[in-house]
Amino acid sequence: MAIDVARARAETPGCGKGLHFGAAGASLMPAVVLDAQLDHLRLEAEVGGYKAARLAAEAIEGTYDSLARLLGCGRQEIAVIENATLAWNLALHAVDFAPGDRILTAEAEYASNYISYLRLAEHKGVEVLAVPSTPEGELDVAALESLIDERVKLISVTHVPTNGGLVNPAAEIGRVARAAGVPYLLDACQSVGQLDLDVEAIGCDILTASARKFLRGPRGIGFLYVRDEVLERLDPPFLDLHGARWETAESYSVIPGARRFETWEFNYASVLGMAAAVDYALDWGLPAIEARVCALAETLRGRLAAIPGITVQDIGRRKCAIVSFSAAGHDSSDLEAALDRQGIVVGTSTPYSTRLDAERRGLPTVVRAAVHYYTLESEIEAFAQAVEELVA
């Protein structure tokens, strides 16, 4: 079913207040997400945080059902974690790496992830290999397959990189990982909420994301998915009294399910905001969201590519809602600031955020403009005109 854009905009307080192309950083929240947070904050102010959590217990538990529906997994396979970076690192550091073990990743890997690989190389003697890309730009699945051997301990890939519209072939990578019996960690921070994801279809064992990006949730909250079958092969880097029970003076037991990766304290207003965002996305339907954002992004790419001096920098056979570009003779950060002065929100991505990809392609800092399903075609035109005037 097609998205009712007028309703989506009416339900989004930020729509119509300037032009928002910042969804790759943080999308505009719908009113239901804002209200879920404000209602809980008010309750906390009235009865205190602990009683508020008891009163909201059913809704809080519902978060796990909502996320399980979003990803097509079991609720016990979900942990709620403060952000994608933490969720991803908790999983990575739960793998029992030994010297000589290999991690296979992609060229467009996110800086924070790569820094963690480098630390593992330094501390544990792990080798990190970036699988080459195809001429079109995505991870080359045949090259990945050829690199599989007994040394490979983890396949760890970013689905949609931080610096552009590329969609890596997550399900094809999943087939290679399954056939090889190698655990597969997918950083879905930039794809959750804009692409229709199903962990069974993708075949990933671990998936991480934040709520604030295309899911339209609050900041400071995210989640971790861990497949039941790999859970016991992972050793959480630490456990608290929420993830484990102190059974006797000398012993403890780990709780069942992915929640062992959580800690006790939560910002429940954010948790409930994330649950509302997931339910809201599911109500629209992820296939409908994906179809609209991809079509809008193609329109934006075409319009920008027609402007003299603009280079659209997106690569890959499959692309998504993020449109990255640079302008000859213009610094992308200056462009971002100039657009901001006109009430137009975009982001930028420096070469250091995806160093291997940026160096390979000689990328400058790029402007990152992302559409969402609430974006209008007329906003795309107004945005393109503003860019055209700035670079003329």
Residues that bind ligand PLP (CB under 6 A): 83-85, 110, 158, 161-162, 187, 189-190, 210, 222
CB of 49 to ligand PLP, least distance (A): 23
At residue 158, the 3 state secondary structure works out as strand
Cβ distance to ligand PLP smaller for residue 66 or 163: 163
* Cβ atoms of 90 and 115 closer than 8 Å: no
Cβ distance to ligand PLP smaller for residue 162 or 324: 162
CB of 74 to ligand PLP, least distance (A): 24
Cβ distance to ligand PLP smaller for residue 180 or 332: 332
Number of Cβ atoms within 10 Å of the Cβ of 153: 19
CB of 322 to ligand PLP, least distance (A): 10
Number of Cβ atoms within 10 Å of the Cβ of 127: 16
Cβ distance to ligand PLP smaller for residue 274 or 307: 274
- CA dist list (Å): 70 to 74, 160, 183, 223, 389: 10, 17, 21, 12, 41
3-state helix, strand, coil in the chain (%, to 5): 45, 20, 35
Q: State the DSSP string of 126-145.
A: -EEEEEPBPTTSSB-HHHHH
Angle, CA 167 vertex, CA 163 and CA 171 arms, to 5°: 145
Cβ distance to ligand PLP smaller for residue 210 or 348: 210
Cβ distance to ligand PLP smaller for residue 84 or 296: 84
Cβ distance to ligand PLP smaller for residue 101 or 187: 187
Q: Which residues contact 268 (CB under 8 A, 6 or more apart)?
A: 40, 44, 49, 52, 53, 56, 60
CB of 363 to ligand PLP, least distance (A): 15
Q: State the DSSP string of 295-327.
A: HHHHHHHHHHHTSTTEEE---SSSB-SEEEEEE
Sign of the Cα torsion 64, 196, 290, 25 reads: positive
Q: Label each residue of 59-97 as H, E or C.
A: HHHHHHHHHHHHHCCCHHHEEEECCHHHHHHHHHCCCCC
CB of 110 to ligand PLP, least distance (A): 4
Task: Name the residue among 307, 320, 316, 314 with its Cα closest to residue 367.
Answer: 314
CB of 163 to ligand PLP, least distance (A): 8
Cβ distance to ligand PLP smaller for residue 91 or 180: 91
CB of 191 to ligand PLP, least distance (A): 9
CB of 325 to ligand PLP, least distance (A): 17
